[in-house]
Amino acid sequence: MINSEKTREYFPSLNRVNESNQQIIYLDGPGGTQVPIQVIEAISKYYLRSNANTHGEFITSKETDSIMDNLRFKVAAMLGAKSPNSISIGQNMTTLNYSLARALSKKFKEGDEVIVTELDHEANRGPWMILKEVGVKIIEVKLMQNGTLDYSDFKNKINEKTVMVCMGMSSNALGTLNNFIKVKEYLKGRECFFLLDAVHYAPHFSIDVEKLGCDFMLCSAYKFYGPHISFLYSRPGVLESLDPDRLVVQDQEAPYIIETGTLNHASCAGVSAAIDFISTLGEGESYREKLESAYLHISDHEFNLAKYLYESLDGFDKTTVIGPDFSTRERTPTVSFVHSDHSPQEVCASLAKHNICAWDGHFYALKAIQELGLESKGGVTRLGISLYNTKNEIDTVVEAIKAI
Ligand SMILES: Cc1ncc(COP(=O)(O)O)c(C=O)c1O
């Protein structure tokens, strides 16, 4: 079980108060979580002691090498990847996805089809649009008005021309948990790349890339209590079969082949500390077991709070929650709603006066918000729950919403 009061003690930024002495209530985890002190200390320690570039013979360079190796090992453990060589590091998910799309644009041919979804963040749609330049057709799976993907449409769109399916594991805008397992079954027996965007999933649930059978997966550490840095998992052997844009002087093998320039070493030290932090919330023998157990605790805590929030908003006549309900666990703890009398921006501005951090708009999941007919209304107000949020905070937020 997560003791959120105790866990909060590790997050100094949650102590911030406004001029009326109201403590910050941070509900923008889907935009980026706060970081525990262990992460801040790991980053400071890097600059205080080990700041250097990689592959030198001197002490700080060797320490930087081991920070990078250690990070790949930890991300591999977190994603269930067999080898740290499956983990490439990048500035953010969008940049990594563009690099991958550019590499695949040299492999795919005219008439090939790549499937994306209307529910996805633009970071898992925009990069694939560049494939149109080489004659690849981009096929879009429909979003239904209840905020879930249309799986019969999905199935119908997969055919012998499909060379890749790119989908999110969950929606950062609506909290929908997508049925990626079912989609993987649709792909059985086909030669087709399967890419999963885990950016909004990785903060809430444990991942096993081996079980999922995906070729690529992307996630961003700043959504799971780390600094701004991201990862691409690729199935062993796949990255070497591609031709990513790169310098002749860089390592030409996976996972380095798609990593351009000097990486953010201090942030890499911070991400290892973030994953260590998550692991301390679980029990088990191995590092992976601790992470898996921690995620069970995290998702239980977050689901219960989010369900409580959902029910409070559902019972209020001026708010309508957009997206799936909480009758099943097919949900992330991200609750988006519209208010009958106020725009999402007005709602967020009003909440901000109480030091409540909530975001409004489309959150870059523009297509989904357009398809739901909400773009002209300013999108939705999003309340994203993280492991440090408490029931008291939810009560305060609901009260503030009702008072607008
Ligand atoms: C579901 C999802 N995918 C992709 C991204 C883009 O991630 P990044 O900011 O690391 O490029 C985000 C960011 O909000 C997201 O929520």
* Distance from Cα 197 to the centre of ligand 1, integer Å: 8
Q: Give tens-digit pLDDT for 277-335.
A: 999 999 999 999 999 999 999 999 999 999 999 999 998 999 999 999 999 999 999 99
Choose among 30, 35, 29, 24: nearest CA to 396.
24
Whole-number average pLDDT of the chain:
97
Q: What is the pLDDT of residue 285?
A: 97
Ligand 1 atom nearest the C-alpha of 168 is 1
Joined together, the tokens standing for residue 212 give 């999922």
Residue 60 alpha carbon to ligand 1 centre in Å: 32
pLDDT confidence bin for 359, thresholds 50/70/90: very high
- Provide the pLDDT for residue 1: 84
* Nearest-atom index, ligand 1, CA of 95: 11
Number of Cα atoms under 13 Å in the Cβ half of residue 323: 32
Give the model's pLDDT for residue 259. Answer: 97
Distance 218 CA to ligand 1 centre (A): 9
- What's the CA gap between 338 and 323, in Å, rounded? 11
% of the chain at pLDDT higher than 70: 100
Q: Which of 2-6, 381-385, 387-391 has the lowest mean pLDDT?
A: 2-6
The whole-number pLDDT of residue 153 equals 98
Q: Would you list the domain boundaries of the chain?
A: 4-34+288-402, 41-279
Our answer on whether the CB atom of 220 is closer than 6 Å to any ligand 1 atom is: yes
Condensed to tens digits (0 to 9), the pLDDT of residues 164-183 reads 999 999 999 999 999 999 99
What is residue 2's predicted lDDT score, i.e. its pLDDT?
Answer: 81
**With helix as H, strand as E and coil as C, how does the chain read?**
CCCHHHHHCCCHHHHCECCCCCECEECEHHHCCCCCHHHHHHHHHHHHHHCCCCCCCCHHHHHHHHHHHHHHHHHHHHHCCCCHHHEEEECCHHHHHHHHHHHHHCCCCCCCEEEEECCCCHHHCHHHHHHHHHCCEEEEECECCCCCECHHHHHHHCCCCEEEEEEECECCCCCEECCHHHHHHHCCCCCCEEEEECCCCCCCCCCCHHHHCCCEEEEEHHHCCCCCCEEEEECCCCHHHCCCCCCCCCCCCCCHHHCCCCCCHHHHHHHHHHHHHHHCCCCCCCHHHHHHHHHHHHHHHHHHHHHHHHHHHHCCCCEEEECCCCCCCCECCEEEEEECCCCHHHHHHHHHCCCEECEEECCCCHHHHHHCCCHHHCCEEEEECCCCCCHHHHHHHHHHHHCC
Cα(90) to centroid(ligand 1), Å:
13
pLDDT of residue 6: 87
pLDDT value of residue 3: 85
Which residue type sits at 15? Answer: N
**In the predicted model, what is the mean pLDDT of residues 233-260?**
97
Nearest ligand 1 atom, CA 32: 14
For the Cβ of 230 lying below 6 angstroms from any atom of ligand 1, the answer is: yes
Tell me if 33 CB under 6 Å of ligand 1.
no
Percent of residues, the chain, with pLDDT higher than 90 = 98
Nearest-atom number in ligand 1 for the CA of 170 is 1
Where does the pLDDT of residue 401 fall: very low under 50, low under 70, confident under 90, or very high at 90 and above?
A: very high
Q: How confident is the model at residue 378 (pLDDT cuts 50, 70, 90)?
A: very high
> Does ligand 1 lie within 6 Å of residue 254's CB atom?
no
pTM recorded for the entire structure:
0.98
Question: Does residue 372 have a pLDDT over 90?
Answer: yes
Cβ(227) to ligand 1 under 6 A?
Answer: no
**Separation of CA 121 and ligand 1 centre (Å):** 7
Average of pLDDT values for 265-286?
98
**Mean pLDDT, residues 1-16:** 92
- The fold for domain 41-279 equals Aspartate Aminotransferase; domain 2 (3.40.640)
CA of 188 to the centre of ligand 1 (A): 28
> pLDDT category, 4, cuts 50, 70, 90?
confident
Residue 155 pLDDT level (bands cut at 50, 70, 90): very high
Which residues, 6 or more positions from 187, have their beta carbon under 8 angstroms from its beta carbon?
Answer: 158, 165, 194
Residue 172 near ligand 1, beta carbon < 6 Å: yes
Q: How far away, in angstroms, is 123 Cα from ligand 1 center?
A: 6
pLDDT tops 90 at residue 5: no
Tell the CATH superfamily of the 4-34+288-402 domain: Aspartate Aminotransferase, domain 1 (3.90.1150.10)
- For residue 217, what pLDDT band results from cuts at 50, 70 and 90? very high
Question: Residue 85 Cα, ligand 1 centroid: separation in angstroms?
Answer: 23
Query: Which two structure tokens, joined as six digits, stand for 282?
Result: 């679980």
